Amino acid sequence: MKPQVFAYHDPSSVEEALELLARHGPGAKVLAGGQSLLPLLNLRLARPEVLVDINRIDSLDYLAEESGWLRVGARVRQRWVERDPAVRRAVPLLAEAVRYVGHVQIRNRGTVCGSLAHADPAAELPAVAVAVGARMVARSRAGAREIPAEEFFTGPLSTALSPDELLVEARFPCSPPGWGWAFVEVSNRHGDYALCAVAAGVCVADGRVRDARLAYAGAGPVPVRLPQAETALREGWPLEDALRAACSEARRLLEPEADIHASADFRRHLAGVLTERVVRLAYRRAVDGAGGARA
Ligand SMILES: Cc1cc2nc3c(=O)[nH]c(=O)nc-3n(C[C@H](O)[C@H](O)[C@H](O)COP(=O)(O)OP(=O)(O)OC[C@H]3O[C@@H](n4cnc5c(N)ncnc54)[C@H](O)[C@@H]3O)c2cc1C
């Protein structure tokens, strides 16, 4: 199919883009990498009257570490994040998870912020954002605001952004010392969206888990953080008991949807299995001082 007719704008500054978004409101859509939006347009599942293409806005093309945060501008492609050794050091979970997004050709074009703004509950990067406590920087003509990742995702393909806001930057906190991170997923084929994926971080001291973060993709309408499983990891000992308790919390509390790819029960089962797998990996990396993603 072909998209419905739309007007096309490709502003060269953020101010110009914000002006267009303010003028056209809900009738406008931002075009970043187009890897999710173009299929939606072609299938007429999205019918915007106006597209605001941000690919000419050079000021959004930056990836910088600053005061303990990795700042990812809205034009940064997923492939840049995947290949940059500084990202691997600063936010190893992001570097590891981004490799699961589609295929190289998709990551060459798709942006990190586009994936976050698209907010597919089975997508990898929203789960990473929730696991590490990322913050989204949104701008409109009225000003800028920061939205914590856990408040940003409001439902399937829905976010806290209002129609006149542009997600100009995603900020990921750099991994503190003592933490290990890991990302695992199961999908039907390599490059498919996850049936279930888990992002995990554990802080280990004297062999014990002192702190933990767990977030799931494909396990609910938004990426789900599971504080009960985190508490089980923090408070349980020995590690095998803590793992058993965390996996049982994941199976008990997650409420995944059934679809043509998998039943809700199978996804719940996967969440338990993957929790154990991902925490063991993150724990080993914390103990080895390896932090996260492989080179
Ligand atoms: C074959 C295929 C397989 C894929 N597999 C996966 C996968 O396994 N995992 C996965 O996570 N994704 C997958 N994707 C999607 C891909 O990762 C997209 O790149 C990503 O979801 C959206 O990024 P984009 O830059 O292409 O955004 P676009 O497609 O340009 O935009 C997506 C949505 O976000 C909005 N948007 C984009 N940028 C902004 C912004 N800065 N501010 C406000 N709104 C914005 C757009 O208006 C649109 O609604 C796949 C895509 C394809 C085609």
Among 6, 9, 55, 118, residue to substitute to test ligand 1 (most atoms within 8 Å of Cβ)? 118
Is 217 close to ligand 1, i.e. is its CB under 6 Å away? Answer: no
Residue ranges making up the domain that contains 36: 7-53
Instruction: Give, for 97, the enclosing helix (H) or strand (E).
Output: helix 92-97
Do residue 24 and residue 77 come from a single domain? no
Express each pLDDT in 53-88 by its tens digit: 999 999 999 999 999 999 999 999 999 999 999 999
Asked, for residue 98, whether it belongs to a domain, the answer is yes
Do residue 34 and residue 103 come from a single domain? no
Token representation of residue 257: 């949807």
The pLDDT of 149-169, averaged and rounded, is 98
Tell how far the Cα of 147 is from the centroid of ligand 1, in angstroms: 19
Q: Mean pLDDT for the chain? A: 96
Band (pLDDT 50/70/90 cuts) for residue 190 is confident
Is 17 close to ligand 1, i.e. is its CB under 6 Å away? Answer: no
Per-residue DSSP letter, 13:
S
Q: Which residues contact 254 (CB under 8 A, 6 or more apart)?
A: 216, 219, 220, 224, 226, 267, 268, 271
Residue 44, classed as helix, strand or coil, is coil
pTM for the model: 0.96
Do residue 71 and residue 44 come from a single domain? no
Specify whether the CB–CB gap between 142 and 241 falls below 8 A: no
Specify whether the CB–CB gap between 221 and 121 falls below 8 A: yes
Asked, for residue 145, whether it belongs to a domain, the answer is yes
Q: Is the pLDDT of residue 293 over 80?
A: no
Band (pLDDT 50/70/90 cuts) for residue 290 is confident
Specify whether the CB–CB gap between 56 and 11 falls below 8 A: yes
Q: Domain of 238: which CATH number?
A: 3.30.390.50
Express each pLDDT in 95-132 by its tens digit: 999 999 999 999 999 999 999 999 999 999 999 999 99
Residue 216: is it exposed, middle or buried by C-beta count within 10 angstroms (0-12/13-18/19+)? buried
Tell how far the Cα of 115 is from the centroid of ligand 1, in angstroms: 4
Alpha carbon distance 153, 207 (integer Å): 34
**How far is the first Cα of the chain from the last one, in angstroms, to the nearest whole number?**
41
Question: What is the structure's pLDDT at 292?
Answer: 72
Do residue 104 and residue 145 come from a single domain? yes
Do residue 73 and residue 91 come from a single domain? yes
Q: Domain of 74: which CATH number?
A: 3.30.465.10
Is 77 close to ligand 1, i.e. is its CB under 6 Å away? Answer: no
